[in-house]
Amino acid sequence: MPLVLTLLLYEVENLERIEVSCNICGSDYSRLLVIKNSFQVVKCRECGLVYVSPRLTEAALGSIYSEDYHISSPAEVKEERVGFFKEKIVLISQYQAGGKILDVGCSTGSFLKEARSAGWDTYGIDVSEDALQYARGNYGLEVTAGKLDDSEFEPAFFDAITMLDSIEHMPDPYRALLKAKEILKPDGFIFISTPNIDGLIPLTTYCLFGRTFGIWEHPTPPGHIYQFSEKTLTALLNKAGFDVVAAYSENIPFRYTFEKLEEAAIDKIKEWSGESGNNAIRPEGNNSPSTSSSKAIPVPPSSGGILRRTIRLLIRTCSWPAIFPIYSLSNFLKRGGDSIFVVARPGS
């Protein structure tokens, strides 16, 4: 194993962690769902929010996002990603036809590039200065470094705000949404996409593998620290002063989901054998499940290759017949997808 990978694994496992309360109701009364990458994934017994606790401190969480993570992939965005961006821009335009748009967690700016082409006046914010340098240098975008809740945007400045697969990474989503309401125009909209904990596939894989073996594809700490459902995301938005206008059921690409399940199984086997899970250094990027052009730090081939291939074969043999029909059904019904896209506006 290369020295840099060994150091990353060591650093993540030894970074400071803190216990947190539920971001919606403030309760500390929770139950353990699963342990992933040495992190506890718990569910609030009061309101149902799923989150990681203890988790990395904000400083430690920020340190795991590196230049390699954000911009190690080719400059070209995959065709399916571009299609996702364009699809979302069309949907957004049904609610807000142009104006100033802020992408929270904009990463290298791929979504903003497409939004600008569609006529939007674009702005972005992200915690990674490396990613923002790429957005500025390659796309000429106006982007700001930092967290939304600490930003200095003018009140009632934006017509639309997007959080595309970024809210699940935020240390304090409630505080971020309060800031979003402050800088959004009264007749503006916020658009949020995030993995859906109540999707048919997450529920099925949890029953088959999570509850029994502790193997579950979502969430993926340390990067993913919250996992929402339509119910809990609506509750959080309502608490921050938003009214939900619409919620759309979507599916993360099946191949991506299955790869995450395979990785979770491999990491669990390595954990049982005393090794560290590789997912501990894969902090999911903004726009990641269905839109990111990011790339995980590559894991070098090792003597465990045969074991990995065996695990993948077993998972595909055992779970494909059960999961793929559910995936197809949720696509057909347009319900129960493992991702949700929520549209909300400031309440009165």
- Say yes or no to pLDDT of 177 above 70: yes
Mean pLDDT of 152-167: 97
Encode pLDDT of 19-28 as tens digits: 999 999 999 9
Residue 19 to residue 51: CA distance in whole angstroms: 11
Identify which of 212, 206, 163 has the alpha carbon closest to the alpha carbon of residue 183. Answer: 163
What is the share, in percent, of the chain residues with pLDDT greater than 90? 51
Encode pLDDT of 278-302 as tens digits: 444 333 444 444 433 333 333 344 4
| Most confident among 106-115, 209-218, 273-282 (mean pLDDT) | 106-115
Residue 346 to residue 348: CA distance in whole angstroms: 7
| Residue whose pair of structure tokens reads 């590789």 in the numeric block | 278
What is the share, in percent, of the chain residues with pLDDT greater than 70? 78
Helices (H), ranges, the chain: 3-14, 58-63, 67-71, 79-93, 110-117, 129-139, 173-183, 200-205, 211-213, 230-239, 254-272, 288-291, 305-333
* Torsional class of 72: left (φ above 0), alpha (ψ -120 to 50), beta (otherwise): alpha
Helical packing angle, 129-139 and 110-117, nearest 10°: 30
Encode pLDDT of 105-136 as tens digits: 999 999 999 999 999 999 999 998 888 999 99
| pLDDT given for residue 274 in this prediction | 64
Residue 331 to residue 43: CA distance in whole angstroms: 27
| pLDDT given for residue 299 in this prediction | 38
Which DSSP state fits 217?
S
| Residue whose pair of structure tokens reads 């506006």 in the numeric block | 345
| pLDDT given for residue 53 in this prediction | 96
Among the listed ranges 72-81, 103-112, 196-205, 259-268, which one has the minimum average pLDDT value? 72-81
Q: What is the dihedral of CA 176, 180, 182, 184, to 10 degrees?
A: 180
Domain 3-346 CATH class label? alpha beta
| pLDDT given for residue 43 in this prediction | 97
The domain spans of the chain are: 3-346
| pLDDT given for residue 303 in this prediction | 42
| pLDDT given for residue 141 in this prediction | 97
Mean pLDDT of 308-333: 71
Spatial contact of 193 and 246, defined as CB atoms under 8 Å apart: no
Q: How confident is the model at residue 343 (pLDDT cuts 50, 70, 90)?
A: very high
3-class DSSP state of 75: coil
| pLDDT given for residue 65 in this prediction | 65
